[in-house]
Amino acid sequence: MARAEIVVDLDAVRHNVALLRRLVDRPLMAVVKADAYGHGLVPCAQAALDAGAEMLGVALLDEALTLRQAGVTAPILAWLVGPDDRVAEAVAADVEVSVSATWALAELVTAGRETGRIPRIHLKFDSGLSRAGATEADWPGLVAAAVRAEAEGSVQPVGLWSHLAYADDPGHPAVNRQVRAFAAAVVVAERAGLRGLCKHLANSAATLTRPDTWLDMVRPGIACYGLDPLGGDPAVHGLRPAMTVRAEVALVKRVPPGAGVSYGHAYVTDRETGLALVPIGYAEGIPRNATNVGPVWLGGARRTISGRVCMDQFVVDIGDDSVRAGDEVLVWGPGTQGEPTAQDWADAVDTIHYELVTRVGGRMTRRYAGGGG
Ligand SMILES: *Cc1c(COP(=O)(O)O)cnc(C)c1O
Determine the distance separating the centroid of ligand 1 and the alpha carbon of 364, expressed in angstroms: 26
User: Closest ligand 1 atom, CA of 161?
Assistant: 13
**Structure confidence at residue 372 (pLDDT):** 66
Ligand 1 pocket test: which of 29, 163, 353 has the largest number of ligand atoms within 8 Å of its C-beta? 163
280 alpha carbon to ligand 1 midpoint, in Å? 29
pTM: 0.97
Mutate to test the pocket of ligand 1, among 28, 31, 131 (most ligand atoms within 8 A of CB): 31
The rounded Å distance from CA 203 to ligand 1 centre is 5
Q: Which of 166, 253, 263, 267 is catalytic?
A: 263
Ligand 1 center to residue 32 CA distance, Å?
Answer: 9
> For this structure, is 199 an active site residue?
no
Looking at residue 84, its pLDDT comes to 86
**Highest CATH level, class, for 10-226:** alpha beta
Residue nearest atom 10 in ligand 1 by C-alpha distance: 203
10-226 and 243-369 agree in CATH topology: no
Per-residue tens of pLDDT for the chain, all 373 residues: 689 999 999 999 999 999 999 999 999 999 999 999 999 999 999 999 999 999 999 999 999 999 999 999 999 999 999 888 999 999 999 999 999 999 999 999 999 999 999 999 999 999 999 999 999 999 999 999 999 999 999 999 999 999 999 988 888 999 999 999 999 999 999 999 999 999 999 999 999 999 999 999 999 999 999 999 999 999 999 999 999 999 999 999 999 999 999 999 999 999 999 999 999 999 999 999 999 999 999 999 999 999 999 999 999 999 999 999 999 999 999 999 999 999 999 999 999 999 999 999 999 999 999 876 6
**Dihedral sign from CA coordinates of 112, 113, 115, 117:** positive
8 A C-beta contact, residue 12 and residue 241: yes
Strands 4-9 and 365-369: parallel
Do residues 118 and 153 touch, judged by C-beta distance below 8 A?
yes
| 3-class secondary structure per residue, the chain | CCCEEEEEEHHHHHHHHHHHHHHHCCCEEEECHHHHHHCCHHHHHHHHHHCCCCEEEECCHHHHHHHHHCCCCCCEEECCCCCCCCHHHHHHCCCEEEECCHHHHHHHHHHHHHHCCCCEEEEEECCCCCCCCECCCCHHHHHHHHHHHHHCCCCEEEEEECCCCCCCCCCCHHHHHHHHHHHHHHHHHHHCCCCCCEEEEECHHHHHHCHHHCCCEECCCHHHHCCCCCCCCHHHHCCCCCEEEEEECCEEEEECCCCEECHHHCEECCCCEEEEEECCCHHHCCCHHHCCCCEEEECCEEEEECCCCCCCCEEEEEECCCCCCCCEEEEECCCCCCCCCHHHHHHHHCCCHHHHHHHCCCCCEEEEECCCC
- Cα(205) to centroid of ligand 1, in Å? 9
203 Cβ inside 6 Å of ligand 1? yes
Instruction: Single out the catalytic residue among 33, 166, 267, 368.
Output: 33
Q: For the chain, which residues make up each domain, given as ranges?
A: 10-226, 243-369
pLDDT at position 373 is: 60
Q: Does residue 253 carry a catalytic annotation?
A: no
Q: Verify whether ligand 1 is closer than 6 Å to residue 204 (CB atom).
A: yes
Nearest-atom number in ligand 1 for the CA of 220 is 9
pLDDT of res. 2? 82
The CATH fold of domain 243-369: Lyase, Ornithine Decarboxylase; Chain A, domain 1 (2.40.37)
- pLDDT for 257: 98
Evaluate: CB of 159 within 6 angstroms of ligand 1: no
Residue nearest to atom 12 of ligand 1 (CA): 163
Burial 20-38 (b: 16+ CB within 10 A, else e): bbebbeebbbbbbbbbbbb
